[in-house]
Amino acid sequence: MQGQGGDDVVLAVAGLRKSYGDNEVLRGLDFAIRRGECFGLLGPNGAGKTTTLRCCLGLTDPNAGTITLVGEPVPKAAREARVRVGVVPQMDNLDPDFTVVENLRIYGRYFSIPAAILSERIPRLLDFAGLANKGNASIRTLSGGMKRRLTLGRALINDPELLILDEPTTGLDPQARHLIWDGLRQLLSQGKTILLTTHFMDEAERLCSRLAVIDHGRMIASDAPRALIAAHVEPEVVEVYGDEARQWADARGRTLADRMELAGETAFCYAKDAAPLLNDLSRQNGVRYLHRSANLEDLFIKLTGRELRD
Amino acid sequence: MISASLIRAPELSLRWIPVWRRNLLVWRKLAIAAVLGNIADPLLYMLALGYGIGSFVPEVGGMKYIAFIGTGMVCQSAMFTSSFEAMYSAFSRMHVQRTWEAIINAPLSLDDVMLAEWIWAATKSVISVMAILAVVLLLGFGHSWLAIWVLPLGFIVGLTFGAFGLVMNSLAPGYDFFTYFFTLVLTPMLLLSGVFFPVEQMPAALRGVAQVLPLSHAIDIARPLLSGRVPDGIPLHIAVLLGYAFAAYYVALVLTRRRLLK
């Protein structure tokens, strides 16, 4: 990871700490985002993702640590930094009293963008958001996916150097998610820098060039998605389920797999070579199984555990 | 736990203007309904009480009763309009629609948003005072250029009660919370400040209470203005109104920072 303040570092965070009363939400977080990359913050609910973003935007004062956002010290010059940053919040906060175009124009005024520049940018943003024929529609008539796309378009009104997205596709159907992902890939190909939080592993795997897994306010791993998986998880996975799965797991799975985890009625067998497992399973009755390669979800579960969070 | 960043002095800049313009744009979409709403309530009071009670008490404090109550309505309307705006409408924007959250992700601070909401609440007071003043003039009272001065007075009353409303807003878990303010503050204020009858009619203890109520100071200015006289003691009345306004605004700002910037 690069040091702070380098030319190509868009956001640098060092030693970030934040407590609410006795509850230590961030316990010394460090990361840096380079120009042009898509950096993902992954973590279970309550891991500190949203608090981290709030600190980076200067909306929450950290107890300790330094933040440099687009070259400005935060929170000291947070407002100046936000001139060059776009934000897609976790929950939609479009202005329901306005039309689609009015939402963009009025948001642009908060950045003191001259009317002429807004008039030129807005049609392009409508195209980008796939809302070119919805300019005069009321926000209340838009679907969830359209609202998200408009929120993404609104975050680009100031042509930001860094785009920050807090769980951009939570609550969307698969079609709508793919449209958002296409939009984000398009932005990356134009050289934009993106920081996103998510707990969807497929989202992180598709979009992020680098990611950090955080839990209990600490970073527990950070690298490119494939490198992280290679470093922490056995390459092959066999999921075994069915009436006899548990019995088989205790009798055979435990010895044949390099590592095995039980979750409900399913046994997850991790191995460098899955051939012995598959060989044995093919001779069993009463079990079904799925053979696949390791993915980010396996990594995430390994690093953050299987127990439920809220 | 109150930290230094919560109690720092209010940030003052012109960045409130685009937020104020946003509120104005929304208002313009529903302007006719809004103005009718502003007028209807006070107009009904004025006509019903003015002609109803006015037939028993032809003159109060040297004015026709309907003119007396008309000036009371100017002030009560400034009070109610800004209180409503800073409570129900601001709460919608802050909590329900998350409009403020969107704004402070742009290069504006919460202080800018609060200043805009405060000035907007006072602006709405001026709009409602304008509407009532038109009615009062149409009914044939207050024909003097001095009457125009109730517009800036409406702005100041709006700052006072807008700031009170913003304090309530910063503490509100939901809309129901604002009922306390109506029952415990606005209704007594309305009855004890000389809106419907002169303060001088009341027992000494209640007259003392009226002395510290901001609305009675507003009425002490508005009533002479609408009967064509220059009010006495303007600096004191304005100082009381603005004293309440600035103190309440600062409290509202600290509490709102605590609520949203944690």
DSSP line for B180-225 = HHIIIIIHHHHHHTTSSS-GGGS-HHHHHHHHH-HHHHHHHHHHHH
Lowest mean pLDDT among A55-59, A283-287, B23-27: A283-287
A151 phi, psi to nearest 5 deg: -60, -40
Residue in B97, B102, B107 closest to A83 by CB: B107
Q: How far is B14 from chain A (nearest CA, A)?
A: 11
A13 closest CA partner among A217, A172, A158: A217
Q: How far is B261 from chain A (nearest CA, A)?
A: 5
Cα separation, A131 vs A137, in Å, equals 9
For an interface test with A, the pick among B11, B26, B105 (most A C-beta atoms closer than 10 Å) comes out as: B105
- Rounded to an integer, the average pLDDT of A146-164 is 97
In sequence order, which residues have a C-beta less than 8 Å from that of residue B46 and are 6 or more positions away? B66, B69, B70, B73, B135, B136, B139
Q: Which two tokens stand for residue A119?
A: 């008039």
Asked if residue B119 has pLDDT above 90, the reply is yes
For an interface test with B, the pick among A79, A159, A164 (most B C-beta atoms closer than 10 Å) comes out as: A79
pLDDT of residue A238: 95
Number of neighbouring beta carbons within 10 Å of residue B251? 15
> What predicted TM-score, i.e. pTM, was given to this entire model?
0.93
Q: Would strands A236-241 and A288-293 be described as parallel, antiparallel, or unpaired?
A: antiparallel
pLDDT of residue B61: 79
Residue in A93, A111, A158 closest to B101 by CB: A93
Give the dihedral sign, CA A149/A152/A154/A156. negative
Question: What is the percent of chain A with per-residue pLDDT over 70, rounded to a whole number?
Answer: 97
Strands (DSSP E) contained in chain B are 59-60, 63-64
Q: How far is B238 from chain A (nearest CA, A)?
A: 33
Tell me the β-bridge partners of A74. Answer: A67
Query: Which CATH code, of 3.40.120, 3.10.450, 3.30.70, 3.30.200, is assigned to A234-293?
Result: 3.30.70
A267 closest CA partner among A286, A234, A242: A242
Cα A29 vs. chain centroid, distance in angstroms? 17
B89 closest CA partner among B168, B200, B189: B168
pLDDT of residue B246: 98
Asked if residue A1 has pLDDT above 50, the reply is no
pLDDT in tens, B92-114: 999 999 999 999 999 999 999 99
pLDDT of residue B5: 85
Asked if residue B62 has pLDDT above 90, the reply is no
Lowest mean pLDDT among A26-30, A129-133, B50-54, B253-257: B50-54
Q: Say whether residue B96 is in contact with chain A using an 8 A CB cutoff.
A: no
pLDDT of residue B39: 80
More confidently predicted of A309 and B210: B210
Asked if residue A118 has pLDDT above 90, the reply is yes
Query: Average pLDDT over chain A, rounded to whole?
Result: 93
pLDDT tier at A239, thresholds 50, 70, 90: very high
Q: Do A89 and B22 touch (CB under 8 A)?
A: no
pLDDT of residue B169: 98
Asked if residue B79 has pLDDT above 90, the reply is yes
pLDDT of residue B218: 97
Quick one: B118 exposed, middle or buried, by C-beta within 10 A (0-12, 13-18, 19+)?
buried
Q: Do B102 and A89 touch (CB under 8 A)?
A: yes
pLDDT of residue A2: 41
Asked if residue A4 has pLDDT above 50, the reply is no
- Rounded to an integer, the average pLDDT of B212-225 is 95
Asked if residue A285 has pLDDT above 90, the reply is no
- Rounded to an integer, the average pLDDT of A14-39 is 95
- Rounded to an integer, the average pLDDT of A107-124 is 97
pLDDT tier at B144, thresholds 50, 70, 90: confident
Query: Average pLDDT over chain B, rounded to whole?
Result: 93
Residue in A82, A91, A102 closest to B105 by CB: A82
Cα separation, B85 vs B26, in Å, equals 13
Asked if residue B72 has pLDDT above 50, the reply is yes
**Chain A residue with the nearest C-alpha to that of B21:** A106
SS3 A39: strand
Asked if residue A6 has pLDDT above 70, the reply is no
A14 phi, psi to nearest 5 deg: -140, 130
Cα separation, B20 vs B25, in Å, equals 9
pLDDT tier at A264, thresholds 50, 70, 90: confident
More confidently predicted of A157 and B262: A157
pLDDT of residue B139: 85
pLDDT in tens, B153-187: 999 999 999 999 999 999 999 999 999 999 999 99
Asked if residue B1 has pLDDT above 60, the reply is no
Q: How far is B246 from chain A (nearest CA, A)?
A: 25
From chain A, which residues contact B within 8 Å (Cβ)?
A: 20-21, 57, 59-61, 79-80, 82-83, 87, 89, 91-98, 102, 106-107, 109-112, 158
